[in-house]
A and B are shown apart, each in its own frame.
Chain A
Amino acid sequence: MTEAERRQRVEDICDDALRRAEEDDRAAFVVIACDGDEGLRQEVEALLLHAQRADKFLTASIGEVAANILADHCSSLAGRQFGVHQMLSLIGAGGMGEVYRAHDTKLNRDVALKVLPESFANDPDRLARFQREAQVLASLNHPNIAAIYGLQECDGVEALVLEFVEGPTLADRIARGPIPLDEALPIAKQIAEALEAAHEQGIIHRDLKPANIKVRDDGTVKVLDFGLARLTEPNGKARASECVTQSPTITSPAEASGIGMILGTAAYMAPEQAKGRLADRRSDIWAFGCVLFEMLTGQRVFTGATISDTMASVIKDDPPWDRLAADTPVVMRRLLRRCLAKEVKQRLQAIGEARIAIEQLLGGAQHEEEASGPTRHHLRRWIALATLLALVAGLNAGRLLKLNPNEAVVWLDVDLGLGPGTSLSTERTLIISPDGARLVYLASVSGGPPRLFSRRLDHPTATELQDTEGASWPFFSPDGQYVGFAARGKLNRISVDGGPVVRLGDRPQFLSGASWGEDSNIIVADRLNGLGRIPADGGALAPVIAPERGRTYAFPEILPGGKAVLFVATTPDGEGPNIEVLSFADHHRKTLVRGATTPHYLPSGHLLYGDKGTLFAVRFDVNRLETRGTAVPVLNGTPPERSGLFGFDVSHQGTLVYRKTGSGIMTVQWLESSGANKPLRAEPGIYANPRLSPDGQRLALTLIEGLRQDVWVYDERRDSMTRLTTGGFYSHPIWSPDGQYLVFTAGGSGMFWARADAAGQPQFLTLNRNSQVPSSFSPDGKRLAYTEFNILSRTNEIWTVPVEYTGGQLHAGTPEPFFATDFNAAAPAFSPDGRWLAYQSSASGRFEVSVQAFPAPASGQGVKGPISSRGGTSPVWSRSGRELLYRSGDRIMTVRYTEKGGLFVAEEPRVWAAKLGGLAFDLALDGKRLAVVTPVDSSEADRTEHDVVFLFNFFDYLQRLVPSR
C-alpha cells in the first residue's frame, strides 16, 4: 500500500465512521474496518478523537468576524508600524483610547502614542479643533511637563504623540502608603511649577490626579496629559458626567477598566466642575490640593461608591482634616484649606502661591498658628440634608424611587392627600415657604369657596387655616411664619399655624400678585392700577407705580435686601408681557426680559421665568439688577401656564414646587345633555367667555395669550377666527340681538363695542374706572344689562343702560342700577321675552340663581328666588323652551318655569348635564347642546390634580445648566 493509498484508506474509514452516529458503534466499526492493522487503527482513531469538536470548528460567519476584527483598529496596534513609529506595547487605556509605547524610528526615541477614538477621525471639525488645540499644548515647554509632540495619522487612525516618561505614577507611589512630608514637598513643588508654567500660558490641566503624575527614579516629576480633558469634549463644553466617563488620561492597566478609572477622575474634580461648569485654573488648584492631601495621608480626600456619590461628596463634604498627621505644619494645613475651598472665590487664586508656601516649608520657615475649628459650613449642610430627609419621610410620596439626596436634582411626585370632595383651586394656589419646610395651598371643600391649607412637609396632614374662605393670591412672609392672602375685598395675613386673620387693608380691585419684603412692606400688583405698597402690619395702600392707561401689571417679587422689585407689565402699544425691575431708591425702572412672565429671583443667582409654556433661567446680578448671558430653557412644558401665570414656587434653599395639572390649554366642545361631545373649535388655546351668536353660526370668545386677552369671533362653518380687538385687555363679549355687533369689557376703562365683521376699530360705549362686564341684551336690543364692580362697596352690582344703534354707531344713555343690593349680584340674563332677568347673587353666603321681573316693580316685589338650591351661577335662558339653565359645581341644572298672573313659577331644578367638564359655556339656539370651553386634558387633570411635583436641589440643577458663578 502506497502512502497515498494508505491515506485514502484512513480517510475512507474515518468518513464511514463519522456517518455512524453512536460512538460505541463507531469504535466497533473502526476495529472491524482496520482488520487487525494496528497502525491504521491508531491513525484513524487519532483523527476521530476530534470528531466531536470538529462539528463546531470553523463554522463562525467569517464575514462578521472579519468585519469585527478589521474595524477594531484601536484594540491592539502593538507590533505594528504606525507611520514613523514602531508600536511596542500597550501601556494603558483611558476613556480617550489606548496608549502605546512606541519607537520613533526617525528620531530614535521612545514616545507614547495615544490612539484617538474613531469619533475623532470621522469628524473633521472636531479633528481640526483638536489639531489646533494640540498645537497650543505642544507649545508647553517645561521640565515638569510631559511634552506633546504632535498628531500622527495612519490608515485613518489618529494618534497623539507624547513624550514617553518612564517610572511609576504618583498613584503607584501613594498605593504603597502616605509619603513623608520631606519627600512629598519636592514632588508637590514640581507639580506646582508645572501648573504655574501652564497657567501662565493660559492652559488648564483639567484632569490633574496622581495617576497622571509620574515620578522618575531621579526624583523628577512629570505631569502628563495637560489640557487633554478639554480636547476630548465634543464642542469644548462637557457635562460633568461626560468629563468623568471620558477622562482622557492614562490610567495604570490595573485601573484601566471599569469603575476604578472613572472614580479616579471624579475624586479630583473641583466642585464647580462637578456641577458642570467649565474648569479654570482654580479647578486645577483644587485638584492640586486633593493630590497634596492624598500624598500626605495616603488616602483620597473624597470617595464614594458611585460616581454620583463621589461627586456629591466633592460638592458637600468637608475634607477629613483629622486624617492629617498631628505634626502637619500649619502652613501646610492652611495651604490645603485654601486649595480645597469649595467656593471658587475663596480658593487660592494662583498656584504660584502654593509654590511659595511649599518653598517656605522646604526652607523650614514655619509659623505655628492655631488651626481653625470645625466650620459652620459643615453644620449648615447637615441641617439642609436633615431637612430634606425629614421632608421626604413626611410626604405621602407617590413615587420615591428617584430619591437620592446625593443626586444633583431629585424629582418627586406627591399626592397632597386631600380628603374626598376637596379640590385644589385653579389659580396660583401652591406656595412653598422660604425654608422649604412648608406648603400652603388653596383648596375648596365640596365645591365651596377656596380656603387656605397649611402643610408642614414633615407632618402627615394639612391643617385648614380657619376663616380664610374665598382666599386667593397667597404669599409667604420672609420668615415663613405668616401667609398673606386676599379674601372678602381685603388683604389679610394669618399665621401658618392658624390663628386670627389680621386685616391689612383693602384688596386692590384687580389684584395680580403680592410679595412680602424683608422691610415689612408688601408690594401688591393691580393688573390695571399699577403697583402699591401696604405695610405688613396693616395700613393704607400707597402707590409705587401709578396706573397708566393701557398698561397692565402683575406678579411682583421683592428682591433680597428689599431695594428693588421684579414685576411683569405690558405696554400700551400691546407689547409684552415683559419682566421689569423697579429700584425703590431712585425709582428707576427698566425692562429685563421681553415676552416673559412670572419672574422668581433665586438665591443661586438666577432669574427664573416663564415664556410660552417653558421655564427659562438666566443669570441675574442682583446688585446691578442686570441679567447676564443667555437664558436657557430649564423645564420644558412644566409647570403649566395658565393665563400667563406659571404656577410654580421656589424656596430659598432650592426646592421648586409646582402643581401637576393640565396644560391649561383648552378647546371648545359641543356638549349634549347626554354627555356626548364633539369639537366646536378644536384648535387648542386658552379661551374664555364663549358666546354663541343669535343665529347660532358664530362663537365670540376671549382668547388669552400670555397676559394679553382679546376678543375674537370664530366661524364654525368656515373654521376661521376673526380678531375684533388688539389691545390685549378686552374680554367678555356679548352679541347684539341682531348679531351685527358685540359689546365687551375693556379692562378698567368701561365697555367697548365693535362690529362683528371686524370692520372699524373698537369704540367705547361707556367710560368708567370700575370694571363693567356686559352680560345680556334685552330682546329688542335697546337695553344692556351688565355687572359693575363697585369700588366703594367692593361688591358686584347689576346695572342696565339704554343703548341705541344709529348711523352705524352704538350709543349708551344713562345707566340705572337694576337691583340695589349689597350682596354681590352678577351675571344678569334677560329672558327671551325680556320680562325677566335671571342673575346670581350671594345673599345666602354662596352664589344662587334668582329671577326678577324687569323692569323691577316699584313695589320691590316680583323677586323669585333663589330658584337654585345647592349653589348656582351663570344663568342662561333657553331660547327654545321655557327653561332656565345654570351651573352648579360641575353640573348643569335646568329649571322649567311658567308665568301665572305676572308671577314667575319655577319647578324643581333637574340635572341637565351631570358633568360639564369645562370652565365656561353658552347654550345653543336649539337648547340641546352647550358650547363649552374645555381643558384639553381635563380627564388627566382630574386624576393628577392633587399631585404636586417637587424638585429638590433645583439650584444644583440650574448651576449645571446655567452656571452663575
Chain B
Amino acid sequence: MAPGRRISLGKHTNEVATASPGTVTELLRAWSDGDDRALERLVPLVEAELRRLARGYMRRERREHTLQVTALVNEAFLRLTGARQLRWQDRAHFLGITARLMRRVLVDHARARGYEKRGGGLQKMTLDELVAAVAPDPALNLLDLDRALETLATVDPRKSQVIELRFFGGLSVDETAVVLQVSADTVKRDWRLAKLWLLRELEGDPK
C-alpha cells in the first residue's frame, strides 16, 4: 500500500449525535431556566433528530396532514429524551421553545451550508428557493431574515417574537396570543406591521 494512504472503512460518527437521553432532558431544563448555552448544545442534537424525522416524513408518499412544526419538534424531543410524554411548564412554554428551536435549526442549517456567501452557484439551492417562496425578493435569504429579526428584537421584541412564533413555529394567531399573553388583535397588528418593518429592513428604502 502506498505510504500515506489510509483505508478507513469504519464509520465515523459525529459525536454530538450520540448524546444520552438524560443529557437532552438536562439541557432542556437548563435552557428553560434561562441558560442560553444549553440552547447552543441542544440545537445540533435536535437538528439531527429533526432531519431523521423529516426524511421519514418526506418518504411517505401520501400524507394525511400537513406537517406541523410543533408536532415535528415534539416528536424530536420525545425521541431525544426517550420520554413518552414531555412535561412542560405549560403549553405556551413548549410552543415558544419550539419556534425558537426551529428558527435556530434552520438558520444553522443555512449557515453551515455556506449560504452566507452569495453567488455560490450550485450551493445556492433549496433554502433560497424557500425564501423565494415566502419573500418577494428571491435574493433574500434566511440568514438575512434572521439578522433582521435580531435587529427588530432590539427595537420591538414582541414583534420579533410574533414573527418567530408565527413563521418559525407555525403557530396560529390565537396560539401566539396565548404564548405572548396579549390579545389576538395585538398579534394580528404586530404581524402586519412587523412584516412591513422586516421588508423595509431587508429590501431597503427604494430611495
Q: Of B1, B50, B122, B127, which is in contact with the most chain A CB atoms at under 10 Å from its CB?
A: B122
Partner of A62, one of B54, B123, B170: B170
Which residues 170-195 of B have a CB within 8 angstroms of A? 170, 189, 192-193, 195
Name which residue of chain B comes closest to A78, CB basis: B123
A463 to B193, CA, bound (A): 88
Asked if A58 and B51 make an inter-chain contact with CB atoms under 8 angstroms apart, the answer reads: no
Task: Give which listed residue, A64, A66, A150, contacts B8 with CB less than 8 A.
Answer: A150
When A54-B192, A72-B126, A149-B6 are in contact, do A66 and B106 touch as well, CB less than 8 Å? yes
Q: B130 touches which one: A49, A60, A84, A151 (CB < 8 A)?
A: A60
Contact A76–B126 (Cβ < 8 Å): yes
* Nearest chain B CB to A70 CB, angstrom units: 4
| A51: contacting residue among B6, B123, B156, B196, CB under 8 A | B196
Give the residues in chain A near B9, CB-CB below 8 Å: 131, 134-135, 138, 150-151
B1 contacts A70, C-beta separation under 8 Å: no
Residue of A nearest to B68 (CB): A63
Asked if A69 and B195 sit within 8 Å, CB to CB, the answer is no
Stretch at the interface among B26-34, B79-87, B88-96, B161-169: B161-169
Contact at B123–A63, with CB atoms within 8 Å? no
The segment from A154-162, A361-369, A512-520, A777-785 that touches chain B is A154-162
CA distance A109 to B166 in the complex (A): 45
Q: Is the CB of A66 within 8 A of B54?
A: yes
Residue A11 at the B interface, CB < 8 A? yes
Across-interface contacts of B195 in A (CB, < 8 A): 50, 54, 57-58
Shortest CB distance B164–A (Å)? 11
User: What is the size, in residues, of chain B's interface with A at 8 Å between Cβ atoms?
Assistant: 71
> Would you give the shortest CB distance from A56 to chain B, in whole angstroms?
7
Given A11-B193, A154-B14, decide whether A66 and B6 contact each other with a Cβ distance below 8 A.
no
**8 Å CB contact of A63 from B170, B199, B205:** B170
- Residue B206 lies at the interface, judged by CB distance under 8 Å to chain A: yes
User: Which residues 135-180 of B sit at the A interface, judged by CB distance below 8 A?
Assistant: 135-136, 155-156, 163, 166-170
Contact (Cβ within 8 A) A70 B54: yes
Distance of A686 from chain B, by nearest CB (Å): 43
Given contacts A56-B136, A141-B2, A154-B13, contact A70 B167 (CB under 8 A): no
Contact with A along B124-137 (1 / 0, CB 8 A): 01110010011110
The verdict on B41 contacting chain A, using a C-beta distance below 8 Å, is: no
A798 at interface, CB cutoff 8 A:
no
Inter-chain contacts of A90 with B (CB < 8 A): 121-123
Complex interface: chain B residues within 8 A of A147 (CB): 2, 5
Contact residues in B for A50 (Cβ distance below 8 Å): 195-196, 199-200, 203
B100 at the interface (CB under 8 A from A): no
CB atoms of A62 and B168 under 8 A apart = yes
Q: Which residues of chain A have C-beta atoms less than 8 A from B69's C-beta?
A: 62-63, 66
**A134 / chain B contacts, CB cutoff of 8 Å:** 9
Residue A118 at the chain B interface, CB threshold 8 Å? yes
Chain A CB within 8 A of B43 CB: no
Q: Which residues of B contact A15 (CB under 8 A)?
A: 189, 192-193
> Are B66 and A141 closer than 8 Å at their CB atoms?
no
Asked if A57 meets B136 with Cβ closer than 8 Å, knowing A11-B193, A78-B114, the reply is yes
- In Å, the complex CA distance between A135 and B67 comes to 41
Q: A50-B199, A62-B69 are in contact. Are A67 and B58 (CB under 8 A)?
A: yes
**The one of B6, B7, B67, B192 that contacts A107, using a Cβ cutoff of 8 Å:** B6
Whether A69 touches B12, Cβ cut-off 8 Å, given contacts A15-B193, A48-B196, A141-B1, is no
Of the candidates B4, B17, B130, which one forms a contact with A155 in the assembled complex, judged by CB atoms under 8 Å apart?
A: B17
Contact B12 A64 (CB under 8 A): no
Contact among B17, B67, B112, B136 for A80, CB-based, below 8 A:
B112
Residues A53 and B136 in contact, CB atoms below 8 Å apart: yes
**CB-contacts of B99-132 with A (<8 A):** 102, 105-106, 109, 112-114, 120-123, 125-127, 130
List the 10 closest pairs (A to B, CB-CB), nearest first: A79-B114, A63-B67, A50-B199, A70-B54, A83-B12, A53-B136, A71-B58, A67-B54, A71-B54, A153-B11
Beyond A152-B12, A155-B51, 8 additional pairs, beta carbon < 8 A: A62-B102, A63-B68, A69-B127, A70-B50, A70-B51, A76-B125, A135-B9, A161-B8
Chain A contact residues, CB within 8 Å of chain B: 7, 11, 14-15, 18, 46-51, 53-54, 56-73, 75-81, 83-84, 89-90, 93, 107, 109, 118, 131, 134-135, 138, 141, 147, 149-156, 161, 253
